[in-house]
Amino acid sequence: MTGRCKLCPLLFGLDEDIFINGEKLILDSNLSCKDKNVIYVSQCQICVVYKGTNGLIYYEDSYFGQTATETNTRFNGHRSKFKINDCKDYEKSALSQHCYDCHNDAMTLSNFKIGIVKKCKPVDLDREESRFISKFRTDIWGLNRMNVIR
- What does the domain layout of the chain look like in residue ranges? 8-122
At 93-149, the pLDDT tens digits run 888 888 888 887 788 889 899 999 999 999 999 999 999 999 999 988 788 887 765
CB atoms within 10 A of CB 93: 24
CB 20 within 8 A of CB 43: yes
Q: Is the pLDDT of residue 86 over 60?
A: no
* 23 strand-pairing partners: 20
Looking at residue 130, what is its pLDDT?
Answer: 96
Average the pLDDT over 53-72 and give the result: 82
Average the pLDDT over 37-47 and give the result: 93
CA distance 148 to 25: 24
Out of 38-42, 65-69, 89-93, pick the least confident.
Answer: 89-93
Q: Pick the residue with more confidence: 26 or 105?
A: 26
E strands in 1-99 = 18-20, 23-25, 38-44, 49-51, 57-59, 62-67
pTM across the whole model: 0.86
Q: Is the pLDDT of residue 24 over 80?
A: yes
Q: Pick the residue with more confidence: 5 or 87?
A: 5
CA distance 36 to 4: 19
Looking at residue 146, what is its pLDDT?
Answer: 72
CA distance 31 to 28: 6
CB atoms within 10 A of CB 111: 22
